[in-house]
Amino acid sequence: MRSDQITPHHLLCFVCIGFANLSSPNMSKKTYNEIESKIASWINVNPSNIVKFTNLINDTIIWYDSIKTSEKLNYVLKIAKSINTKEIITLEKKKSFLSDIRDIAVADGVFNSEEKNLHDRIAKELGINIMTTDKVIRKKIGY
């Protein structure tokens, strides 16, 4: 995909598709439907922009699939960081976007540790400090 064709919606869609694929390479139909639902709500799909919606998803999938498997994680994190550094969306919308990521994660009924870890890494790149991982944190008492 040419860089002059990439919109903020493409970037958000890329992160969602990447998150779902990296978390579970055999994406379930429920997960895919959840991604479509989230994207549809972002662009307020209606009969006048259904083609734009379809093209957005198809273009982003082709773009994502064109990246070497070994580089996909780095691209997802890099794009998440660019969303933050270019101030594409507000802090409130970033929080909502992370909520969408969690909804995508649980679409198949599970929010496993790999998904939690990737969610937290995306959140960090978006400039949001959130931990969903089940890490045990022990503070030292005294010296």
For residue 92, is it within any domain?
Answer: yes
Tens-digit pLDDT profile for residues 14-58: 999 999 999 888 888 999 999 999 999 999 999 999 999 999 999
pTM, two decimal places = 0.89
Cα(90)–Cα(73) distance, integer angstroms: 24
For residue 143, is it within any domain?
Answer: no
The total number of structural domains in the chain stands at 1
Residue 99, amino acid: S
19 with 118: CB under 8 angstroms? yes
For residue 100, is it within any domain?
Answer: yes
Determine the pLDDT at residue 24. 85
pLDDT exceeds 50 at position 137: no
Tens-digit pLDDT profile for residues 91-135: 999 999 999 999 999 998 889 889 999 999 999 999 998 878 665
For residue 69, is it within any domain?
Answer: yes
35 with 21: CB under 8 angstroms? no
Name the token pair of 16: 């969602």
Of 24, 31, 6, the C-alpha closest to 100 is 31
For residue 94, is it within any domain?
Answer: yes
Cα(6)–Cα(15) distance, integer angstroms: 13
For residue 136, is it within any domain?
Answer: no
For residue 142, is it within any domain?
Answer: no
For residue 25, is it within any domain?
Answer: yes
Tens-digit pLDDT profile for residues 71-89: 999 999 999 999 999 888 9
Parent domain of 104: 3-125
